[in-house]
Chains A and B, each alone.
Chain A
């Protein structure tokens, strides 16, 4: 499927550009969307269908691979190529797609149970390898499709059908996990913040290599209001913007600073002075500070949490490196000839 038409750049280099402008409608399939009324997934789908035409790439060169769970129904609703696979394995399947087809934009859609529980192994390895895929991790902190069990991101003490006395599991912080795997692009956004969602997802798909985007997504049925404390008037969301001081809350009165031990903590800007507030550097090679910022999320109460791009660094992608080792002949006849030589080997005898 090689093409001579112009291709996009960055993570989409190799993906042919559309010859005609596309619209949201082009990315809407004929399938009836069947999430629960009020589900945060609707907002993400609408945002996705809105941003895809803006990328300029051909619709037929878009592939969405999902696992199992509510969010994993996503591919059915987008009119591109897609695979709804099995629980937790989407990053592995997407790796095979990305390695064999540099001309495709490959998305993975997954949830907190899919990506962090049953598929945890595939997630961390896809990230560490830097496979050229973009992972949307819908985090609603609950198992929705199986009707309301606690998930690997649920807060400790959560009462659910499978934890009537309160969950004793400690939750994962997906951003910390991704940074621990040295992912080259790590971001968080929120289902209801359309502009932010668009900006982060666009940056993610344009990033060469593995991009993980955690999306705080409300489940109105089994975990309604899980992110409300963040969205309240107090303003617990901490926006991260590259090159800008990390401040948040009403009048940007609070900011992230380093304490004497080198940790990152939250302080009153008026008290410490704006000059002492950390300036966000998403391109820092060392993931240390990004990790420290990820710890500002209080996974128990979820009253504060940074959103935006924690880390965005350039490293050769796994699939490019693997393909670069091939020394294959372009001409099929020559290729068969080479293969014949290999199969024949050097130690033969003739009868």
Chain B
């Protein structure tokens, strides 16, 4: 008789060859998790190569899911359970599995040849090297193939159902109903009935195997997490970002125009918006990154909302056009889904090393607002905010997401669009001078310039990259005017600070001497690490920057109120450098550039060590 054990949280990692369907398996399990009411966070990890050589470590694709009965912040550092579909998957992921962890392995691929390919001299499943773990090794491929034998698939296709068989087994192990995945498969393979039936049969067979085999002494259950009432869905960062852009454009009554060139990990934004024809979104897959932003700027000039989405290498190519947008003072949203660089770097791995590029990467004095979302779902609100600022202030805005947010997913309370604030493009339709002239560079109290769009009679005017005379916008090479305009553009962007909320510090004890300050996607690891530090009886304060430019007005005051400030970043200390330069304060950089999110356990341990050291020194 199998017992059901209740757990508060579990981290499962599905790992296999890139062709094994691990991302799909992970996504389905996540969906079932969402329906079970757990809080969750996911981390897909896949090679840049579409089909790396089969059975190699380089070709391993994995999907990690953390689910719990409480509010969690990260996909977890280390899995409790590793599902390894081949020797390479075991080899690549074993180091992350704590001793005592559960391994579920498909023995079918543990052949001498495949073992040798990844450097195993003998079979780890049988040679005793995994004695410190709980190993459950089954011929998942063979059992799945047998389960679908009657359905008339070829051998190759029959074996491919093994991921659904594994999912069925995990569904049983974690007490999840399979109905929803069956509906999903019916829909996905509606046009290929044999494939549909085989996948469903494999899923059910995997579940039944769990039920009938007596290998597992325990089943697990994770209760629903308490969350505010509302309608929820699962959402990835890139999807949320696309929706935020659409919502912003809709609230402004403008057509959303996306100019983009395919680039990992930003391409999904192009995909999501390309399928938003019913919302009137125009997408333009350009010949290159430069044309992509050029067309977006053209759309903004024409009175619509121009947006471009890219990653670091593309942002570098777009810089000249962003400088033009600064000069033209037109709305433009530039989404940079950061990845590990420089150069091609590691396209599918995450990093935050484009911060200084976003802030300072243009020639001339070309300031612009920079905003960073802190979680996948938050990409919606951050994108909406970027649209609002771009339109209200007639400025390009850079939105700094990253690969971790882009592909990660979490539960998300669906916003009510009607409740979102309206955005007013405030087009000028009449002359704005007493003499009946129109001056395109007359400004409102926010210093935003008059925006008249083509088609408006009487307001014909020319704008361009050459320095503008204040007010009229005519070409000017006057030295004093240039200095005035450089300062004016800087003041306008600094003025966005008026709508930037103060930096909020979380310090439940009120007695913390150490502040951990982050930005962007480090929110999850930082807040989870702080929770662990506090649970150990120590005090730590945390704060998170959403606006990187302009910074909240109280940042200096906050920084100066702590003995020690740690700034964890997935770069070599870019925000730390900005803070030191700006405020002459001694902040300490905590830098990790491994292409992976900062490890919460490592950060928590390091924070505890620092707190204890400071305490010791204070004695």
Contacts and interface: CB of A to CB of B under 8 A. Distances in A.
A339 B455 contact: no
Given A342-B276, A349-B34, A100 B454 contact: no
Interface in B440-490: 453-466, 474-475
B426 to A, nearest CB: 16
B233 interface: yes
Interface in B20-58: 31, 34-35, 37
A99 interface: yes
Interface stretch (B87-95, B110-118, B283-291, B343-351): B283-291
Contacts of A79: 460
Nearest to A3: B455
Q: Which range contains the number of B residues in contact with the other chain?
A: 35 or more
A95 B233 contact: no
Interface in B241-299: 243, 246-247, 250, 253, 255, 257, 259, 276-282, 284, 286-288, 290-292, 294-299
A97 B302 contact: yes
Interface in A68-95: 68, 75-76, 79-86, 89, 91-95
A99 B295 contact: yes
A31 B461 CA distance: 11
A4 interface: no
A96 interface: yes
B72 interface: no
Interface stretch (A275-283, A304-312, A319-327): A319-327
B301 A340 contact: no
A219 to B, nearest CB: 21
A338 interface: yes
Nearest to A338: B278
Interface string B209-246: 00000000000000000011111111000000001001
B277 A99 contact: no
Contacts of A103: 455
B282 A83 contact: no
Interface stretch (A35-43, A59-67, A160-168): A59-67
B232 A339 contact: no
A336 interface: yes
Interface string A324-349: 01111100100110111011110111
Contact of B296 (A59, A91, A96, A340): A96
Contact of A351 (B31, B228, B250): B228
Contact of B454 (A29, A81, A84): A81
B552 interface: no
Contact of B474 (A1, A31, A323): A31
Contact of B458 (A60, A68, A347): A60
Given A58-B457, A347-B31, A84 B462 contact: yes
B460 A89 contact: no
A194 interface: no
Interface string B300-320: 111110100000000000001
B591 interface: no
A58 to B, nearest CB: 7
A67 to B, nearest CB: 10
Contact of B295 (A59, A96, A335): A96
Contact of A349 (B37, B303, B415, B417): B37
A95 B298 contact: yes
A339 B277 contact: no
B418 A336 contact: yes
A125 B259 CA distance: 14
B299 A344 contact: no
Interface residues of A, number: 60
A345 B301 contact: no
B324 interface: yes
Contacts of A325: 277
A350 B228 CA distance: 10
B231 A344 contact: yes
Contact of B303 (A95, A101, A347): A101
Contacts of A81: 454-455, 460-462
A93 B279 contact: no
A244 interface: no
B146 interface: no
A122 interface: yes
B414 A1 contact: no
A188 to B, nearest CB: 25
B250 A1 contact: no
B321 interface: yes
Contact of A76 (B37, B324, B462): B462
A336 B249 CA distance: 11
Contacts of A61: 454-455
A129 to B, nearest CB: 9
A84 B463 contact: yes
Given A61-B454, A122-B291, A344-B231, A93 B462 contact: no
A100 B282 contact: yes
A328 B279 contact: yes
A104 interface: yes
Contacts of A99: 257, 282, 284, 295, 299
Contacts of A347: 31, 34, 233-234
A339 B460 contact: no
Contacts of A344: 231, 233, 414
B328 interface: yes
B31 A97 contact: no
Contact of B277 (A68, A326, A351): A326
A96 B259 contact: yes
Given A101-B454, A103-B455, A121-B288, A96 B302 contact: yes
Contact of B456 (A60, A68, A82, A343): A60
B475 A76 contact: yes
Nearest to A2: B455
B173 to A, nearest CB: 22
9 contacts: A84-B462, A86-B465, A92-B287, A101-B302, A121-B291, A322-B282, A328-B279, A347-B31, A351-B229
